[in-house]
Structure 1
Amino acid sequence: MFGLPDNDRAIANFTMLGHSLVHWFETSIPIFLVVWLTEFPDAGVAVFGLIVALGYAPFGLGALPAGVLTDRYGPKRLILVCLGGMAFAFVVLAFADSIATIALALVLWGVAASVYHPAGLALISTGVEERPTVFAYHGIAGNVGIALGPFVTATLLMVGLEWQLVAAVLAVPGFVGLAYGLSASFDPAGAVDADDVSDASEPLSLSEFVSGSRALFASAFAVVFAIVTFEGLFYRGILTYLPEILHDAPAMAVLDLPTGFEGIEPADYIYVGLLVVGIAGQYAGGKLTDRIRVERGLAGIFAVLAVLAVAFVPVREMGLGPIIVLCAILGFFLFAIQPFYQEAVAVHTPEDARGLSYGYTYLGEFGLGATSIALGGFALGVGLEAFFGLLIGFALVGMALSWGLLIAISRFDAWQGPRARAQSED
């Protein structure tokens, strides 16, 4: 953060806080899921899978309307609404005494959280001069929130706090972030010309939205969108149910320590460790996007994820050490793939459609990807083999799409080369 201009630093602080808090709340939910399955045993994993999916789905489905609202009302105002809305949703969760109230709280959280990514990225893109540096800090802050959310949740539950009280405690940083944001001062358009701001402030009309969407999906972006969706299906499915899967592993018996709440175990810290390793994975993925063609990188990482899913069931029976190693590798590649698909969106979309394309990207990643929570709940009810078979399918389809895109683009480039030379000779 040292060396950044004052306006860049102020926006970086605000967006880093917002990004970390979005994922702070997001990744605490799978830990609560373990508790809810214990608290409401008659409901079953399939029912709670549907309920959690109802919460996560708006997180992505709201990305497109959130982008339109950001253009109309400004990114800072939208981020403040996001922070206050997420904190309020967890207050509702703190008073929940039924499955219906839990579902309501999760839906409220999903709607509020959906605002952040379009608004936060828009703020950085228009207000920051040192964009690459601030985007890097922004990503790191998100990963810190991803790791801290389940860590703090599991720790508070293990020391004996009721899950409703834990939800209330988790809401506090959201209100602190809201208070900080209200006092923060910066120029949200400090890195663009006044004319550009005027043009950007005009929200898309319906006809422009439809024509822009049609143009995007008539290009290679249609394949990129499908790739992102299958990555989201794998990502959301594994992260939602991994705590429950680790709890039931035979090797976890050696970590059978006294806990304050039935259902929360030291195995949850293996899950947290996976998320921490993800920070290194995302950093490495970002560096590799400059050295490896994004389509090839996507295909390769999807292949690794498929192999890891194949290995998970037998490795789960081998003992504590192999489980930890497998989870660490999974965490690394699960997050290493994200810079590749983000770069793929930039490579395969025109600059004037970049905002709309990233709106669709988060729709696929977080919105359509959330369907794997419901599908995974039913599959897990059948058995672990069915669940990981589902994940293997997601990874293999993502790999096939990535490889197909690589072949198509390579052939197009090969065809364009002689054609361009012929035109230059004419």
Structure 2
Amino acid sequence: MSLNANDRSIAGFTMAGHALVHWFETSIPILLVVWLAEFDVSVALVGVVVALGYAPFGIGALPGGILADRYGTKRLIVGCLAGMSLAFVVIAAAAYADSIYAIAVGLVLWGVAASVYHPAGLSLISTGVDERGTVFAWHGIAGNAGIALGPLAAATMLVFLDWQYVAALLAVPGLLAAAYGLRAEFDPAAAVDDDVDAGPEEALSPADLVANSRALFASAFAVVFAIVTVEGLFYRGTLTFLPEILNGTPALEALSVAPTLERYDVDPEFYVYAGLLVVGMAGQYAGGKLTDRVAPARGMAVIFVVLAALALSFVPVASVGLVAIVAYCAVLGFFLFAIQPFYQNAVAVYTPADARGLSYGYTYLGEFGLGAASIAIGGFVLDGFSTGAFFALLAAFALAGAALSAGLLVGLDRVFARSGADVAANPDD
């Protein structure tokens, strides 16, 4: 079924926003390499500076969801796009202050601005779009495009320009998208019933916020939140450490790249990793289309089992050879991203429309905030144990997600529905 005009307008607006959030996010590590060379500071200090930008990106998702319910999703996404762009202008200006701390200010501003996108963008799709699965698919593809193109654009421009000009140019698409968003017209509540209030509302008092959060976590959303968190643990751990792990495999170590690329420290595993992200676009599309036909719990359970099997098979596959590793990464990339439209749709299925921003705020607190714990855990396992132990840990995360998803399939949501009714009947308990 083709998208109607409202669906197309929301799809274009949110796809631009999603692509640009990850465009900025993945260009930062490229600039980090330059900052280490430009400023007389330690790697540890630069790491802290970059972490100051990434931390609000995950932590701010919850307040971002609250703001989406309060002020409306369109206004918040436009502010996000403008804020991220202006933050990169601040980063560019830091070159003239010759201070790593000025860069830290720009990165913090970026993290705060970027944090509101996911709860606002997904809330808008869930309440405004009739063909939700299809738009979730295209939205995910746009995010993957941003993930792949951000570092590519930054690295390419750095060949010809000083880093401050690169940072300024990276801001231009965000400013253009913000201008487009101001002119975009759509109904943000077109997909909800007329008697459901899904528009902006008065600011929640602390008591109302606690009550709404209690109601959410007394419902099946509590299971969805746990599913998203373990998916975040698998996702972040995989994407953080896979390039380094691939670098240590004999098949890739034996390869070399063209001298001109070697000059910029481009290794063969970069291309395999980039290929994984590109294949992820197909996974996003397939997963999104299937959410219109397959219950989200069933889809998540199946994909988690596949991910667990893939994690356990990495070590034997890596010993086979180059073709096997490339094929493995393609399959992993497909399923790693195919699951995302399912959990995004699960939030829409198991939460009320008038709390959708808050729901997605908690969702991305779990995905980007709690999920980032796998970086610390995975680093400890890789340092103290083995690659096999690391992938066994990832498999355990995936199997936990499969068990939770199966719980929704066998009626755990009905248990929570009774509990939620008790909370609604006794809100002051």
AA at the equivalent of 1:330: L
The 2-side partners of 1:19 and 1:140 are apart by 9
| CA contact 1:237–1:370 (8 Å) conserved in 2 | yes
Cα gap change, 1:90 to 1:240, in 2 (>3 Å): farther
Q: Which moved more, 1:307-316 or 1:99-108?
A: 99-108
Residue in 1 that maps onto 2:423: none
Residue in 2 that maps onto 1:409: 412
| CA contact 2:300–2:402 (8 Å) conserved in 1 | yes
Residue in 2 that maps onto 1:22: 21
* CA deviations over 1:58-95 (Å, ceiling 9, x no partner): 22321222233234433333222211222233344454
Residue in 2 that maps onto 1:119: 120
Q: Which moved more, 1:14-23 or 1:245-254?
A: 245-254
* CA deviations over 1:357-405 (Å, ceiling 9, x no partner): 2221121112211232343344444465254344333223323333344
Report the 3-state secondary structure (helix = DSSP H, G, I; strand = E; otherwise coil) of the residue aligned with 1:186.
coil
Residue in 2 that maps onto 1:422: none
Report the 3-state secondary structure (helix = DSSP H, G, I; strand = E; otherwise coil) of the residue aligned with 2:255.
helix
Q: Which moved more, 1:333-342 or 1:310-319?
A: 310-319
Pairwise CA RMSD of aligned residues? 3.9
AA at the equivalent of 1:392: A
The 2-side partners of 1:37 and 1:87 are apart by 23
5 Å matches for 1:22-421?
22-29=21-28, 54-94=52-92, 95=94, 104-124=105-125, 134-156=135-157, 159=159, 166-182=166-182, 184-187=183-186, 189=188, 191=190, 200-250=200-250, 251-258=252-259, 259=261, 262-382=264-384, 385=387, 387-409=390-412
How many residue pairs match? The answer is: 409
Cα gap change, 1:376 to 1:410, in 2 (>3 Å): closer
Name structure 1 gaps, 5 residues minimum: 414-426
TM-score (norm 1): 0.79
* CA deviations over 1:288-330 (Å, ceiling 9, x no partner): 3355443343233222222322333443454322221111011
Name structure 2 gaps, 5 residues minimum: 417-429
Report the 3-state secondary structure (helix = DSSP H, G, I; strand = E; otherwise coil) of the residue aligned with 2:208.
helix
The 2-side partners of 1:313 and 1:136 are apart by 31
AA at the equivalent of 1:370: A
| CA contact 2:62–2:361 (8 Å) conserved in 1 | yes
| CA contact 2:138–2:285 (8 Å) conserved in 1 | no
| CA contact 1:53–1:370 (8 Å) conserved in 2 | no
Cα gap change, 1:162 to 1:319, in 2 (>3 Å): farther
Report the 3-state secondary structure (helix = DSSP H, G, I; strand = E; otherwise coil) of the residue aligned with 1:254.
coil
Cα gap change, 1:266 to 1:162, in 2 (>3 Å): farther
Q: Which moved more, 1:26-35 or 1:300-309?
A: 26-35
The 1-side partners of 2:12 and 2:249 are apart by 40
| CA contact 1:154–1:268 (8 Å) conserved in 2 | no
Cα gap change, 1:82 to 1:293, in 2 (>3 Å): closer
The 1-side partners of 2:40 and 2:310 are apart by 30
| CA contact 1:8–1:129 (8 Å) conserved in 2 | yes
* CA deviations over 1:243-291 (Å, ceiling 9, x no partner): 3333444324423322275433343222121111111112222333355
The 2-side partners of 1:257 and 1:293 are apart by 47
The 2-side partners of 1:303 and 1:168 are apart by 44
Q: Which moved more, 1:139-148 or 1:357-366?
A: 139-148
TM-score (norm 2): 0.79
| CA contact 1:299–1:402 (8 Å) conserved in 2 | yes
Cα gap change, 1:202 to 1:82, in 2 (>3 Å): same
| CA contact 1:83–1:175 (8 Å) conserved in 2 | yes
